[in-house]
Amino acid sequence: MNGSVLPKIPIGEWASLLVQFITAHFSGFFGAIADGIGWFVDVLVTFFNLITPFAFILIFVVIAFRRRGWGVALFTLFGLVLIYDLGYWEHALQTFALILTSVVLSVVIGLPLGILAGISKTFRRIITPILDVMQTMPSFVYLIPAVFLFHTGMPPGVIATIIFAMPPTTRMTSLGIQKVPRDLIEASEAFGSTTAQKLFKVQIPLARPTIMAGINQSIMLALSMVVVASLVGAPGLGADVYMAVTALRTDVGVEAGLSIVILAIIFDRISRRAKDISK
C-alpha cells in the first residue's frame, strides 16, 4: 500500500515485465551486441598495449601540440607521465578504450538522429522527450536492465555510457542544423541543389562548430560515467575508485580520481575549438 486513496499505477511492474519479455525473446540479439562490444573493446586494449607507454604519450603530446599549442602539450606530457608513475597506466588504457567505444557509438547513433531532428519538426517533437529521459534518468536506474540484457562487464558499462552521453551530440547537431541562416539555404535551393547537396555542402559544414561542441560534451559525460560503469563490472580507473570507496582507501581513491581528472582535461582541451578555450 502507498498510503494514497488512489490506486497505484504499476509502472515498475510493467517495466519489470517488459525487461523479462525482452530477455526471454531477444537474449540472443542482445548477447550478440554484448559480444561485439566486448570484442571491440578487447581489440582496442590489445592494440593500445602493443604501443609502448613512451610512444603512446608522445602521440598524445603531438596531437595536443598541433591542436592547442605548447601549454596543453606540456600538461598532456606531465599528466600522462604521472598516471604511468602512479601505476595506473593499464587501467587508464581500459578507461580510454571504454570512452572511445562509447563516444564513437554515441556519434554514430546520435549524429544521424540530430540531423533528422534538425530538418524535421515532427521527428524533433518525438525525440526531444526521449532525450530528456535519457539525460535526466539516474544512471543507476538503467544499469539494472543493462545487466539483465548484457550481463556484467564492459558491455553494460558501454551501453549505459552511450545512453547518458548521446543526447548532447543529438541536441547540438539538431541545433546547429536549425541555426543555419535561411538565406543561405534559399540560395543553395536557387542554384538547384538537391536535398542531400544542401545538407552535406551547406547545413552540416556551417553547423560543424556546434556539432563539435556537442561531441565534446558527450566525451565529458562519458568520462563522468566511468565510476558508474564500474558498478556493473567495467574495468578501468572507475573500478579503482569504486574499490577505494568500498575499502575506505583514501590513497587509491585520490590517485585514481586524479588520473580520471587528467584524462578528462586532456580530452576536453583536445576536442574543443581553440577560440572556445580563449574565451
Tell me which of 27 and 165 has the higher pLDDT: 165
Q: What is the pLDDT of residue 184?
A: 80
* Any domain includes 230: yes
How far, CA to CA in Å, does 50 sit from each of 4, 36, 54? 61, 21, 12
Q: What is the pLDDT of residue 164?
A: 85
* Any domain includes 104: yes
* Any domain includes 17: no
Range of the domain at 31: 24-274
pLDDT category, 274, cuts 50, 70, 90?
very low
Tell me which of 221 and 185 has the higher pLDDT: 221
Question: Is residue 185 over pLDDT 60?
Answer: yes
Q: What is the CA radius of gyration of the chain?
A: 21
* Any domain includes 18: no
* Any domain includes 10: no
* Any domain includes 4: no
Cell of 260: 580520471
Q: What is 201-235 written as a DSSP string?
A: IIIHHHHHHHHHHHHHHHHHHHHHTHHHHHTTT--
Q: What is the pLDDT of residue 172?
A: 92
- Number of separate domains in the chain: 1
Measure the CA–CA gap between 236 and 216, rounded to whole angstroms. Answer: 21
- Domain with 137 in it: what CATH number? 1.10.3720.10
* Any domain includes 151: yes
Chain segment 53-83, per-residue pLDDT in tens:
899 999 999 999 988 888 889 999 999 999 9
Cell of 154: 564492459
Chain segment 114-146, per-residue pLDDT in tens:
999 988 889 999 999 988 888 888 777 777 777
* Any domain includes 13: no
**Global pTM?**
0.82
CB burial of residue 11 (10 Å; 0-12, 13-18, 19+): exposed
